[in-house]
Amino acid sequence: MTTLNGKTALVTGSTSGIGLGIAHSLAAAGANLVLNGFGEVAQALEAVRRHGGEVRYHPADMSRPEQIAELVAFAESEFGTVDILVNNAGIQHVAPVEEFPPERWDSILAINLSSAFHTTRQALPGMRRRGWGRIVNIASVHGLVGSEQKSAYVAAKHGLLGLTKVVALETAQTAITCNAVCPGWVLTPLVQQQIDARARASGDAAGARRELLAEKQPSLEFVTPQQLGELVLFLCSEAASQVRGAAWNMDGGWAAQ
Ligand code: NAD
């Protein structure tokens, strides 16, 4: 079993969905956690604290480089270190490219891609000093393939896989690894919004959920935040020390088609 006792993990966008699932897995393995994100903050803090480790929260807006710098500095000042960095914060907007609002393009690129550059840039020197680190970028199956109406999201996630490869190469001769995880559909608020939009159009909520899965995900089942948390935990283990620059999909067979 992987033990992360004494390690500190910073998970961006961890008040909900996949980020919260990952925070649970890392805290259960003994890591101290820095949570970030909006919404149900108190609930997330309370839930992750139940694993027994130290848990802090920072409200940085991941579209703002100066706030990202404060987030990494906060984590280092609270715990002396960021050993595990999980770049997870992300948003979605669905529209054809010619109707895509330019300000949504900018915010998706900022939150889903540029934020990972800023956190990585600032957390890496500390990892190098201590001679160990794990960076896990939560990309998407949309880092590997495209879908209509998701120009900004697909571009950002493809970019995130590029960043992952470069950071993996630049750290290849150290005990720091950088990898990406590529989930298929996970039933979180981000996806529920897309199901709700389909249900509004068709008037059939259960049908909208079935259709969403049937279009892309051969297993016809959602991936869970818990399963993704366990995959991230594996990538943080010593067994994964030669997994470098990988784009590891957990997608119910989506990308195998
Ligand atoms: P979610 O909406 O449940 O959670 C997103 C998290 O990011 C929340 O904690 C939210 O508060 C935070 N966040 C959003 N904007 C932020 C900002 N500007 N600054 C700081 N925090 C911010 O979504 P999710 O489905 O759990 O998505 C998490 C990640 O997983 C995203 O990067 C998403 O692209 C990726 N992903 C999701 C799916 C899926 O099917 N749900 C599939 C593939 C990849």
Q: Beta-carbon neighbour count of residue 178 at 10 Å?
A: 29
- pLDDT computed for residue 2 by the predictor: 82
pLDDT in tens, 37-93: 999 999 999 999 999 999 999 999 999 999 999 999 999 999 999 999 999 999 999
Please give the structure tokens belonging to residue 177.
Answer: 């690894």
Nearest to 90 by CA among 115, 59, 122: 115
Per DSSP, 113 falls in state: I
Beta strands 176-183 and 8-11, pairing class: unpaired
Q: What are the angstrom distances between the C-alpha of 10 and each of 19, 129, 150, 209?
A: 10, 17, 28, 32
Residue 35 · residue 45 · CB < 8 Å: yes
How far is 99 from 104, CA to CA, in rounded Å?
Answer: 11
Say whether pLDDT at 1 is over 80.
no
Cα–Cα distance between 239 and 101 in angstroms, integer?
44
Q: What is the CA radius of gyration of the chain?
A: 18
DSSP assignment of 116-153 equals HHHHHHHHHHHHHHHT-EEEEEE--GGGTS--TT-HHH
Q: Where are the beta strands (DSSP E) in 75-141?
A: 84-87, 133-138
CA angle (218 as vertex; 198, 158 as ends), nearest 5: 75
Q: What is the pLDDT of residues 85-115, one digit of tens each?
A: 999 999 999 999 999 999 999 999 999 999 9
Does pLDDT of 174 surpass 90?
Answer: yes
What digits encode the pLDDT tens for the residues 117-149? 999 999 999 999 999 999 999 999 999 999 999
Q: Which atom of ligand 1 is nearest to the CA of 142?
A: 43
Query: Greater confidence, 138 or 205?
Result: 138
Q: Which atom of ligand 1 is nearest to the CA of 183?
A: 43
What whole-number distance in Å separates Cα of residue 171 and Cα of residue 128?
9
| Catalytic (active site) residue 153 | yes
Catalytic residue among 153, 185, 222, 248: 153
- pLDDT higher than threshold 80 for residue 24: yes
Query: What's residue 186's pLDDT?
Result: 97
What is residue 152's predicted lDDT score, i.e. its pLDDT? Answer: 98
Does the pLDDT of residue 163 top 90, yes or no? yes
pLDDT tens readout for residues 211-242: 999 999 999 999 999 999 999 999 999 999 99
At 41, list the tokens: 């903050």
Query: How many angstroms does the Cα of residue 111 sit away from the middle of ligand 1?
Result: 9
Indicate the residue type of 181: V
* DSSP code of residue 223: B
CA of 62, closest atom in ligand 1: 19
| Binding pocket residue ranges, ligand 1, CB within 6 Å | 13-19, 36-39, 61-63, 88-91, 111-112, 138, 140, 183, 185-186, 188-191
- Measured between alpha carbons, how far is 8 from 178 in angstroms, rounded to an integer? 16
Per-residue pLDDT band at 187 (split at 50, 70, 90):
very high
The torsion region of residue 253 among left (phi > 0), alpha (psi -120 to 50) and beta comes to left
Q: Which residues contact 189 (CB under 8 A, 6 or more apart)?
A: 16, 17
Burial class of residue 201 in the structure, from the number of CB atoms within 10 Å of its CB (0-12 exposed, 13-18 middle, 19+ buried): exposed
Measure the CA–CA gap between 15 and 248, rounded to whole angstroms: 23
